[in-house]
Amino acid sequence: MSAAKLAVSTRGWSFQGLIESSSNFYAVDRVSASSHNLQEALKNHEEDGIPLVVEGFHKLKAWPYGLFSLENFCKQVQSKDISVRNVHNWKDKEIPLEDFITKSRTMSHFAEDDEVERLYGKDAECPSAWEEELRDEALLPSNLFCGGSHDEFRFRPASSPIETLMCYLGVGDTYTPCHKDLCASSGHNLMCYTEEEGSSFWFMTASSDAPAVSAYFHTLHQELDHENHVITLEQLVKSPFKVYVVEQKLGDLVLVPPRSAHQVVNYGGITLKTSWSRMTTRGLAVAYYHELPIYRRVCRPETYRVKSTVYYALKARTEAMTALERYARSNDKAFVSVPDW
């Protein structure tokens, strides 16, 4: 197999250098996990559809250093194999998790001219103990919980769940092609563990720029929703929309707005990230009217079952309202407090 040059490499990259390299690049706003203004920042993020980073989770007392480690991850996962992708030829395979970690720790942080393999661990199982920590209000705001009170997927029956919680492991110069999170869902990505100053560079767009991004991909003879094009820095510089850039480090939670096109490129040593998606009420509407028609055009499976999620959400709310009405009548109440949905 002959060596193929990667579409992107982080050699020589720095966050400040990237921001200064183009007037088209903008630094993503950051807010501290312990800030009194956190909820206001989260509200603005959802309303404006602009990427946001909540930083410093690893500085909170609730941060589980012993749990969020690579060694613990290996002990906790049920499967001892991991699905990996070779970014040189985009072929997937399964290998033992420990072999993958050994390869990653011994590999150069930057792609070499003669290498033919550089593996990225994707869609790995999130250990149940980690999942419990990610539902701890002492660590994360409850309105960001996977399956929490601000996630429409919580209404789905146990027999038909939507699994979005996954882990990703990679060393420098591994990446995913530019893509959007499925069905206008809201993305969350927490950097749980790093080695040798590992980090991840993110290039993101605003929700409102989704049509412009799709049109720009067409000028490159690519289809954004096929998720098979790694966009280069040169192409991003020339793009007709703002590109939001962040270097994600330990304890950083990257919030990806619905329909935001984004590409993640790992830097330095091993990084271990936990990722999940939430579906908001607004996201369901956007998915139905905007994303699903695109999926039909490009022959892409829906995966997140938008229509049935709408059904289960409406059914649950109708049943709750009916129960409240019955309670009010039986207790001769003129007013009953309605839950904040």
- We report the CATH number of the domain holding residue 306 as 2.60.120.650
Give CA 7 to chain center in angstroms.
Answer: 22
Q: What is the mean pLDDT of residues 43-63?
A: 98
Per-residue pLDDT reduced to its tens digit, 13-31: 999 999 999 999 999 999 9
Report residue 330's pLDDT band, with 50, 70 and 90 as the boundaries: confident
pLDDT attached to residue 335: 54
| Residue 6 resides in a domain | no
Lowest mean pLDDT among 141-150, 217-226, 238-247, 330-339: 330-339
Which is higher by pLDDT, 50 or 1? 50
Q: How far is CA 100 from CA 54, 128, 177, 251, 333, in A?
A: 30, 21, 21, 24, 63
**Which structural domain, as residue segments, surrounds residue 308?**
15-330
249 in Cβ contact with 190 (< 8 Å)? no
Asked if residue 190 has pLDDT above 70, the reply is: yes
pLDDT attached to residue 324: 84
Q: What is the mean pLDDT of residues 93-113?
A: 96
d(CA 105, CA 51) in angstroms, rounded, equals: 31
Asked if residue 329 has pLDDT above 90, the reply is: no
pLDDT attached to residue 333: 59
Tokens of 103: 């390869």
Q: What is the mean pLDDT of residues 195-222?
A: 98
Per-residue pLDDT reduced to its tens digit, 225-278: 999 999 999 999 999 999 999 999 999 999 999 999 999 999 999 999 999 999
Asked if residue 101 has pLDDT above 80, the reply is: yes
Q: What is the mean pLDDT of residues 182-211?
A: 98
What are residue 94's DSSP bridge partners? 83
Residue corresponding to tokens 């490129």: 265
245 in Cβ contact with 202 (< 8 Å)? yes
Q: What is the mean pLDDT of residues 107-134?
A: 95
Asked if residue 313 has pLDDT above 90, the reply is: yes
Report residue 341's pLDDT band, with 50, 70 and 90 as the boundaries: low
Share of the chain above pLDDT 90, in %: 91
Query: How many other CB atoms are there within 10 angstroms of residue 43's CB atom?
Result: 11
User: Angle at CA 337, nearest 5°, toward 333 and 341?
Assistant: 145
200 in Cβ contact with 267 (< 8 Å)? yes
Q: How far is CA 168 from CA 49, 89, 171, 176, 266, in A?
A: 24, 19, 10, 11, 11
Asked if residue 1 has pLDDT above 50, the reply is: no
Q: Which of 113-117, 288-292, 317-321, 323-327 has the highest mean pLDDT?
A: 288-292
pLDDT attached to residue 123: 93
| Residue 143 resides in a domain | yes
Tokens of 185: 């869902």
Q: What is the mean pLDDT of residues 154-166?
A: 96
pLDDT attached to residue 337: 59
Q: Spell out the SS3 assignment of the chain.
A: CCCCCCCCCCCCCCHHHHHHHCCCEEECEEEECCCCCHHHHHHHHHHHCCCEEEECHHHCCCCCCCCCCHHHHHHHCCCCEEEEEECCCCEEEEEEHHHHHHHHHHCCCCCCCCCCCCEEEEEEECCHHHHHHCCCCCCCCHHHCCCCCCCHHHHCCCCCCCCCCEEEEECCCCECCCECCHHHCEEEEEEEEECCCCEEEEEECCHHHHHHHHHHHHHCCCCHHHCCCCCCHHHHHCCCCCEEEEEECCCCEEEECCCCCEEEEEECCCEEEEEEEECCHHHHHHHHHHHHHHHHHCCCCCCCCHHHHHHHHHHHHHHHHHHHHHHHHHCCCCCCCCCCC
User: For the chain, how many structural domains are there in total?
Assistant: 1
From the list 123, 174, 200, the residue with the least C-alpha distance to 7 is: 174
Per-residue pLDDT reduced to its tens digit, 119-131: 999 999 999 999 9
pLDDT attached to residue 332: 66
pLDDT attached to residue 340: 59
Per-residue pLDDT reduced to its tens digit, 75-84: 999 999 999 9
Q: Average pLDDT of the chain?
A: 95
| Residue 23 resides in a domain | yes
Q: What is the mean pLDDT of residues 130-140?
A: 96
d(CA 181, CA 42) in angstroms, rounded, equals: 18
pTM, two decimals, is 0.94
